Structure 1
Amino acid sequence: MNPKQSVYPLQPPRERGTWRAFALALVMHVLLGLFLYHGIQWQNSTPAGAEAEIWTEIPPTPAPRQPPAPPAPPVRVQPAPPVDQEQADIALQEKKRKEQEAAQRAAQLAEQQRQKALQDQQEQAKRQEAQAREQAARLAAQKAAADKLKQQQAQAQKQREQQQAEQQKQAQLKQQQLEAQQKAEAEKKAEAEKAAEEKAAKAKALAQQQAKQKQQLEQERRARLSQLQGMAAQSQGGNGLAKSGTGSGSGGTAASPGYADKVRRRVKPNIIWAGATEGLETVVSVHCAPDGQLLSVSIKKSSGNPQWDAAAANAVNASNPMPLDINGKAPASFLITLRPAGSS
Structure 2
Amino acid sequence: MSALPKHLEFAPPPPEGTGRSVGAALVVHALLIVALTAGIQWKQDNSLSVEAELWSAVPMAAAPKLVEVDAPPPPPAPKPEPAPKPVVKAPEPPAPNRDAEIALAKKRKVEEEKKLQDAVRAEERRKEELKKEVEKKAKAKLDEDKRKLEAKKEEERKDKERQEKEKEKERAEKERKEKEAKKQAEQKDSKASAEEAKKLEAIRKENMKRIAGLAGASGSENATGTAMKSSGPSDSYGGRIRARVKPNITFDPSSVSGNAAAEVEVRCAPDGTIVSRKLTKSSGNSAWDNAVLKAIDKTEILPRDTDGRVHSPLLLVFRPND
How high is the TM-score relative to the length of structure 2?
0.49
Whose helix proportion is higher, 1 or 2?
A: 1
Higher relative contact order at CA 8 Å, sep ≥6: structure 1 or structure 2? 1
How high is the TM-score relative to the length of structure 1?
0.46
